Amino acid sequence: MVTQATPRTHPLDPLSADEIVRASSIISEQFGSPESLRFLLVAALEPAKGVSEAPRAAEAICINIDSGLTTEAVVDLDAGAVTSITELPGVQPPALFEEYERAEAAIRADAGWRTAMSLRGLNDQQIDLSFIHLWPTGNFGSRWETEHRILKGIVYLRDEPDDNAYGRPVEGLIAVVDLAANRVLEVIDAPSPVPPVTSLRFDHDHGGPHREDLKPLDIIQSEGPSFTLEGHLLRWQQWQMRVSLHPREGLVLHQIGYEDNGQLRPICYRASLAEMVVPYGDASVGHYFKNAFDSGECGIGRLVNSLELGCDCLGEITYLDGVVTDERGGARTIKNAICIHEEDVGLLWKHTYRHPDERGSQSWLRRSRRLVISTIATVDNYDYGFYWYFYQDGAWEHEVKATGIVQTMAIEDDDPQVTRHKIGQRLAGVHHQHFLSYRLDMEVDGRQNTVFEVDTVPLPLGPENPYHNAFTAQATPIADESLSGREVNASAGRHWRIANDSVRNPLGEPPAYVLTPGATVSMMADEQSIIAQRAAFARKQLWVTAYDFAQRYPAGDYPAQSEPGLGIPEWIDSNRSLEQADVVLWYTVGMNHLVRPEDWPVMPVQRAGFSLKPWGFFDRNPGLDVPQPDHCEHDIERRTDLQAHHPHNSHS
């Protein structure tokens, strides 16, 4: 294991701990150093594209916990001065860790809540040992949501502090907490089933008896990995990029490029998870409001795990630390926040030639390996792994792995299981979906790109298709933002080609990359629903917009308790041209989760993602220069007796 130092060497580097503290101190002094000032985000303010020399700047989101007023500030760290302050009355930023703690304490001290628990037959010891899960509320138009900064607390029972509390929900009991006033506004107590009798733990002592037939699996690179990491600059094979952790977006990649014949060719300026929403599909009082924006309402980066060798990452690992604000103006370092390593992934390419005139064959083969850059974030009951993969043939992919504990509800034994599925005695898992919006600021061989929607379609019957078997790739440009908002069409093999028409490859065609969807799903909430209007990005799989530095988050900068229509719906109203333009792609990964018994008490990983592959970016297979494996005797003629199994040559 190697822990890499992270000196500031580039304008796109994240803030160091010292820079976070300095920026916070400058802002605090500007406000007169009030005790009520808190910092939700302090991050590097990235310079404009193409600007290599710019003042080192920080952007910050602050909140006064007494007044509830949110303020944005920008600090010039070189000059040591605040350069802008913007007050945002009515805006709700993510809840502070401190606010979560105070909200739980307020609920436990509330006489109305304790009475509601007692009326359910619970004694003081059971009440005090209960687990309170605090949720963002959304905005359904209630006066609590429109006039207060709030969280909702739902309750689970435990017999001991380490219990899997989600096994014993106190169904229908919700406390609404005002975070500024630090008091319970309302206790909602709806009639509900009796919670299950016992929870189900899944730690080592409760998961057995354990399997005894697993042999050791060691990954050894005796000469070390094939990549280099200098600060945040990562080089591997022909790939080059910058790697960092953002407090809101989590893992961010900048300036992804590929070295081709000595020239570093740009592909993507910035790639990140821009937003994420998890809408639940049950209309009961304890679940209808569950539609958390895990990035904008929580901050994926500040919830990233410290990864452990042999557990989260296996092999010859290099780590990068992450640094975020501690909310009072200090800095918090997340050790080993980003994991970087190589993996063997089977074949890169292979061909076997069978000699037509004699028994025998000749084979050529190369094994593939990939570079893996990953983080894991825990957002309450769910854990998400985010993995960027880079390959030796110029392709790259993203995969999200969802695991953790599903949201549960107490049910009657004869529950019809329409919007949930039974996973235990009087216990169900609620149907829900996960939508993750990835922001891909593309620059394929430069910043003048056009996105084409490509469908595979049959040719009309006629002279060009006399045998009824001919088909073609039909490419339609997404010419302006009125055409944005595209959907996956698996039957047509739909994908999207990002091409640079101002450049030509040796074959006379524009170089391009194609974005190919992985497994995905449409949003089940009706288009008129509150969540579909607040998370409009999730209603389609692909949006394309013209680049604007201020347009970073597809559901708006502040989705907590937000109004409908923010973000992408506002932006595309401008109907900007997208042909040979500086374009940004917003790709939505959709994950359907109809909970099954095997997802309890902790769910196996569920995967989804997308890929990007070169399309005319190279004039031949870029993996031809990969050397053959040392232990492999291919690229030589092999004589084998194929006659018994293949008496005739076959063609496919």
The number of beta carbons lying within 10 Å of the beta carbon of residue 306 is: 14
- From 294, 326, 383, 599, active-site residue: 294
- Element of type H or E holding 584: strand 583-593
Sign (positive or negative) of CA dihedral 408, 413, 419, 421: positive
DSSP β-ladder status, 408-410 and 396-404: unpaired
Which residues pair with residue 403 across a beta bridge? 383
DSSP 151: E
The number of beta carbons lying within 10 Å of the beta carbon of residue 407 is: 26
DSSP β-ladder status, 37-44 and 2-3: unpaired
Give yes or no for a contact between 39 and 328, defined as CB atoms under 8 angstroms apart: yes
The residue type at 462: G
Both tokens assigned to 306:
């410290």
- Does the active-site annotation cover 382? yes
Q: How many helices (H) and strands (E) does the chain have?
A: 7, 32
State yes or no: cis peptide before 209, omega within 30 of 0.
Answer: yes
Closest to 41 in 3D by CA, of 327, 287, 238: 327
Q: Using a CB cutoff of 8 Å and minimum separation of 24, what contacts does 635-644 make?
A: 635/363, 635/364, 635/365, 636/362, 637/360, 637/362, 638/360, 638/361, 638/362, 638/363, 639/359, 639/360, 639/361, 640/359, 640/360, 640/361, 641/359, 642/354, 642/359, 642/360, 642/361, 643/359
Give yes or no for a contact between 590 and 541, defined as CB atoms under 8 angstroms apart: yes
DSSP 281: -
Closest to 426 in 3D by CA, of 441, 443, 408, 442: 408
- From 258, 280, 382, 553, active-site residue: 382
Residue 438, SS3 per DSSP: strand
Contacts of 372 (CB under 8 A, 6+ apart): 339, 340, 341, 342, 343, 387, 388, 389
* Extended strands (E) in 392-509: 396-404, 408-410, 420-424, 427-430, 432-442, 450-458, 471-477, 495-499
- Does the active-site annotation cover 294? yes
Residue with tokens 């977006």: 249
State yes or no: cis peptide before 601, omega within 30 of 0.
Answer: yes
Cα radius of gyration rounded to whole Å, the chain? 27
Residue 460: half-sphere exposure toward Cβ, Cα within 13 Å: 2
How far apart CA 256 and CA 496 sit, in angstroms, is 19
Question: In angstroms, how far apart are the furthest CA atoms of the chain?
Answer: 91
Catalytic positions: 294, 382
